[in-house]
Amino acid sequence: MSELITKSASELADLLADGQIKSVELTRAHLEQIQAVNPKVNAFLHVDADGALAAAADSDARRARGEVGSALDGIPIAIKDNFCTTGMPTTCGSRMLEGWVPPYDATAVQRLKEAGLVILGKTNMDEFAMGSSTETSAFGPSRNPWDLERVPGGSGGGSSAAVAACLTPLALGSDTGGSIRQPGAVTGTVGVKPTYGGVSRYGVVAMASSLDQPGPVTRTVLDSALLHEIIGGHDPMDSTSIAQSLPALADAAQRCDVRGLKVGVVKEFGGEGYEPDVEARFAEAVQWLQDGGAEVVEVSCPHFEYALAAYYLIMPAELSSNLARFDAVRYGLRLGDDGRNGMEAVTAITRGQGFGKEAKRRLIIGTYALSSGYHDQFYGSAQKVRTLVAGDFDRAFAQCDVLVSPTTPTVAFKLGERTGDPMAMYKADLCTIPSNLAGNASASFPIGLSAAGLPVGLQVIAPPMADDRCYQVGGFIEAKVESDTGPLLAKAAPIVGSKAVW
Amino acid sequence: MALSAEDVARLAALARLDLTNAECAELAPELDVILTSVAAVGEVAGPDVPLMTHALPLVNVMRDDEVRPSLPREVVLAGAPDVEEGRFRVPQILSED
Amino acid sequence: MMTELMEFNEVLEHFDPALGLEVHVELSTASKMFCGCSTEFGAEPNTQVCPVCLGLPGALPVVNAKAVESAIRIGLALGCEIAPWGRFARKNYFYPDMTKNFQTSQYDEPIAFDGRVEVEVDGESYVIEIERAHMEEDAGKLTHVGATGRIHGADYSVIDYNRAGMPLIEIVTKPILGTGAKAPQVARAYVALLRDLMRALDVSDVRMEQGSLRCDANVSLAPKGSAELGTRTETKNVNSLRSIERAVTFEMRRQAAILAGGGRVLQETRHFHEGDGSTSPGRSKEEAQDYRYFAEPDLVPVAPSKEWIEELRASLPEPPAARRKRLAAAWEVDEKTMAAIVAAGALELIEATVAAGASPQSARKWWLSELARRANEAGVELEDLGVNPADVAATQELVDKGELTDKLARAVFDGIIAGEGSPTEVVERRGLRVVSDEGALGEAIDSVIAASPDVAEKVRGGKVQAVGALIGQVMKAMHGQADAARVRELLLERLGVG
């Protein structure tokens, strides 16, 4: 049993700095928890125990020499399986890339290594990040630590489940339409989608290039800020990376003060389709902000109702092009090469069998949306809606410093509940999608539980490059939850075999 | 717009996906539902609204014309399904570029 | 089956040809279009690739600034407008030589558009309007393995991606009309002009044999006087100036025969065969192409400032045609000689030799005859021969001073090519100085006159031109190391006709 693994990364960093614990010890504790719990939650697709212990030993040696790489040197971390990692497979949850070991590290991964973090392994995800539940993973769904019969959200359900079940204090995710925030909300963890261009996409296997954004997945707000500061900032390898320094995120996370902050409640996020418990928790959180001295106003973003539709055209269009490279020529799966089939057939067979159903669905939609005769009607119109959504945000941010909403309309749903109904599945991302379209900063923070004891998240949205405002609100909310009831994750029923002690 | 199984098959060919007839028949109505519900985008976007293709308005991001090291060839070929004498090997190609 | 062809002259009685030329120029940047891999030609397969040009999952492109600069300079040199803001686009289609199965290109926002150039054929000028010039990337190189060595009948293929991601500029003309019988020559002259232009701009090696300049020729015929264009064919990858002329000629004759027979020309892609100058149809595609273009989200728009464009405009070299005209006038040579100079690749060399002090006539003489022959024998370009313009000017100076004869000057060039140093060093080392010792010369002259009394008598009798034979004998006796003019002078003096 271990109290270490329930601590936050910042607390652990203090213990390492004081010499009270060693990184090897910390890493071993997490590897033991993975061994005990991963068979039940299926959060990790690959665990690199040897590599992690070696990195931990290096960290301890560095520390002994007084050469600490960063605030998080020696802290374990898990990486979503769409980040390229040398020495570890990168499958994106797809059969198409099973066993593929990239010859290069994603910029974010390289920065983790330079900062001395200990990479435990790779986490499960919906295939190529296409999903809201991890159920489209070719390697089986991950499960929600709050209720193993429920999904941990998606596409980054592996990272959020791993953090929630204390398999790791930190994880990386990527968010195209909510894949960091939505799993965060339904697992009671913190997930941040930085401003588009704030964290390099280089080496993150693309789903929809103009929407994808990597970011932190953690249990506390400060941990996300610390991790964000390590992976963020300009990268010359990513043309869409913003060439300016990040605001002071960790400072904002620790401010615990929202006095004078103008908070906008988006009135379009609510009503039909929203669970009463979600709306109730959300109303309470807004009240906390008001009580804390924030000025709360209602704002209208009339075009948000078209955001989901625009997203489900732009995203498949871009991914249909991004996923064309999986053609059985240079890497990955090749099927049907029996000496009779030509190259064209081999590519088609490999793609037909290597991609799962949701991937195929989206490849067809994307191909359709871009095809001649439909391009303007679908893809073109969707890009116009994107302009309108961004305009709604501009007007809202002229009045407010941040916008808030529930992160998801519902709490975690049951495994299999929505797999037969794509539109129902897509609606899990209703609230999170607008930020991806506009490219602004957005985060989800736990605010409480539904009557059934399942977590609810608050989404906080800030203008591009004002990510610090999300952390400022998140830190305040977190302090409120903790002072009222203690850490939310401590309330989850322990998973059998778990070594976590709160 | 009612997408037929034949439409799906045509799109699958463009996307180079080998789908069975049963798959095409199953996907057609599903895709139809999705396309019907996303068709709303055409209602709001007037001709005067510009397209937003990028999340942020950056321009002129370029690098200097400097050579950087390439990958070692054994690394380049390591993940390939089939290799011959330092090249990627593929079955006979039937169509022309 | 033999393709039916109509006699060329007959074609023109019935039809008007229209041309459309698409030329791909590979830029001579040090690194690729979107990554830092080298563009050096001839490396071992798959040794100049990285995650970006190999299209590995997660890799992202970054634009090469030099390629953009070259594109703008090319656009300006073609008289184009430069787009103040333009995006890259993805052209989506599957082919195994493309690592991402889309080509990063430009679609409806090319960097340069609406230009015009003029070419001259047989003294007549033709305006060619440029529709656009845009940036894109090259694909890898496929090799088909099997009995035929071609795609048809290959057992399998192998791929080298070193060329994938090399920067290309595609230059597209508007339909070229009204060229009549000169259509094949206009096509050739246009591509030659582009080649010279790229060379003058120093943006490409423009080695057609290495594929750094490739031409696709669209040809169609319309009934004479018709306002509508006929159905076109596109003959791909025509890779020499001569081939362009031949391919256009062949297509005109072939299409004319079909149309005259009441048939219809198929809109198709065709291949050119160097051997017999014919074209043949490519394999038709299974499904109609639908490239599904959309703005490349991984690259941000290129928005060259007015200042940058003007700075590049100011740095443009003199247009090749204007430069040639200017030099032809200065050197007092006719068009035909100028064409020979250009064809020999001697324009810059002669210009530099003149700048180093030689007369245009002597500079031209050395480069076009003696040195061109040696380069030809050695199988190298004239500029790679190892003789520089300053050497030629210095050698000519020695000739002008009477210290060398032309024959000795040739030996000096041999020495320079052999690496023996500067002209004066070679003269010293080889002892090539003209003998100006009048005593030795006088003796030689006296013995030649004595040995040829008949010739001497003829000269004395007034047939002065007969002295040539005597000069030859004297020069022979002196082993060439005498100044022929001085020998003539002395001979005539002694024979009393001086």
Residue B83, domain member (yes or no): no
Q: In the prediction, which pLDDT does C484 show? A: 79
| Model confidence at C489: pLDDT above 90 | no
Residue B73, domain member (yes or no): no
Contact A239/C92, CB-based, under 8 Å? no
Over pLDDT 70: what percentage of chain A? 100
Identify the chains in contact with A, defined as 3+ C-beta pairs within 8 A.
Answer: B, C
Of the two residues C445 and C380, the one the predictor is more confident about is C445
Stretch C60-74: mean pLDDT: 98
Stretch A127-153: mean pLDDT: 98
Q: In the prediction, which pLDDT does C286 show? A: 47
Chain C residue whose CA is closest to B9: C287
DSSP 8-state symbol, A379? I
- What the block records as the tokens of B10 is 């045509």
Q: In the prediction, which pLDDT does C498 show? A: 62
Residue B56, domain member (yes or no): no
Phi, psi dihedral angles at A404 (to 5 degrees):
-130, 155
Residue B4, domain member (yes or no): yes
Lowest-confidence segment of A220-224, C61-65, C394-398, C405-409 by average pLDDT: C405-409
Active site residues of A: 80, 155, 179
- What the block records as the tokens of C143 is 């090799």
pLDDT bin (cut points 50, 70, 90) of residue A7 is very high
> Considering only residues 247 to 276 of chain A, which have any Cβ-Cβ distance to chain C shorter than 8 Å?
none
Q: In the prediction, which pLDDT does C350 show? A: 94
Stretch C2-25: mean pLDDT: 95
Contact C57/A240, CB-based, under 8 Å? no
Query: Nearest CA to CA, how far is A54 from chain B (Å)?
Result: 24
Chain B residue whose CA is closest to C47: B73
Query: Nearest CA to CA, how far is A410 from chain C (Å)?
Result: 32
Contact A329/B88, CB-based, under 8 Å? yes
pLDDT bin (cut points 50, 70, 90) of residue C237 is confident
Stretch A365-374: mean pLDDT: 94
ipTM for the predicted complex comes to: 0.96
Phi, psi dihedral angles at A218 (to 5 degrees):
-150, 180
Residue B69, domain member (yes or no): no
Q: In the prediction, which pLDDT does B53 show? A: 95
Pick from B16, B59, B60: CB nearest C94: B16
Contact A364/B46, CB-based, under 8 Å? no
Alpha-carbon distance C272 to C213, whole Å? 16
pLDDT bin (cut points 50, 70, 90) of residue C495 is confident
pLDDT, mean over chain A:
97
Q: Domain residues of chain A, as ranges?
A: 4-303+403-491, 312-386
**Domains defined for chain C, CATH in brackets:** 8-309 (no CATH), 318-430 (no CATH), 438-494 (1.10.10)
- Parent domain of B15: 1-43
pLDDT tens, residue by residue, C296-347: 999 999 999 999 999 999 999 988 888 888 999 999 999 888 888 887 778 8
Which pairing describes strands C167-173 and C124-137: parallel, antiparallel, or unpaired? antiparallel
**CATH code for the domain of B33:** 1.10.20
Q: In the prediction, which pLDDT does C363 show? A: 94
Residue B76, domain member (yes or no): no
Stretch A126-139: mean pLDDT: 97
Alpha-carbon distance A345 to B16, whole Å? 8
Stretch C178-194: mean pLDDT: 95
Contact A349/B18, CB-based, under 8 Å? yes
| Model confidence at A179: pLDDT above 70 | yes
Q: In the prediction, which pLDDT does B66 show? A: 98
| Model confidence at C146: pLDDT above 90 | no
Mutate to test the interface with B, among C157, C166, C309 (most CBs of B within 10 A): C157
Residue B52, domain member (yes or no): no
> Considering only residues 208 to 247 of chain C, which have any Cβ-Cβ distance to chain A shorter than 8 Å?
none
pLDDT tens, residue by residue, C271-309: 999 889 999 998 765 456 899 999 999 999 999 999 999
What are the C-alpha distances in Å from A219 to residues A113, A123, C55, C104? Answer: 21, 16, 35, 41
Alpha-carbon distance C324 to C351, whole Å? 11
| Model confidence at C449: pLDDT above 70 | yes
Residue B66, domain member (yes or no): no
pLDDT, mean over chain C:
91
Stretch C52-78: mean pLDDT: 98
**CA dihedral of A277, A278, A283, A289, whole degrees rounded to 10:** 130
pLDDT by 10-residue block (mean), chain B, 97 residues = 88 96 94 89 90 95 98 97 97 86
Alpha-carbon distance C79 to C115, whole Å? 4
What are the C-alpha distances in Å from B71 to residues A102, A325, C151? Answer: 12, 19, 29
pLDDT bin (cut points 50, 70, 90) of residue C493 is confident
Q: Chain B residues within 8 A (CB-CB) of chain C? A: 10, 13-14, 16, 51, 53-54, 58-71, 73, 76-77, 84-97
Contact C65/B64, CB-based, under 8 Å? yes
Chain B residue whose CA is closest to C296: B53
Alpha-carbon distance A480 to B1, whole Å? 51
Alpha-carbon distance A408 to A355, whole Å? 28
Arch. (CATH architecture) of A4-303+403-491? Alpha-Beta Complex (3.90)
Contact B81/A333, CB-based, under 8 Å? yes
Per the structure, how many domains does chain B have?
Answer: 1
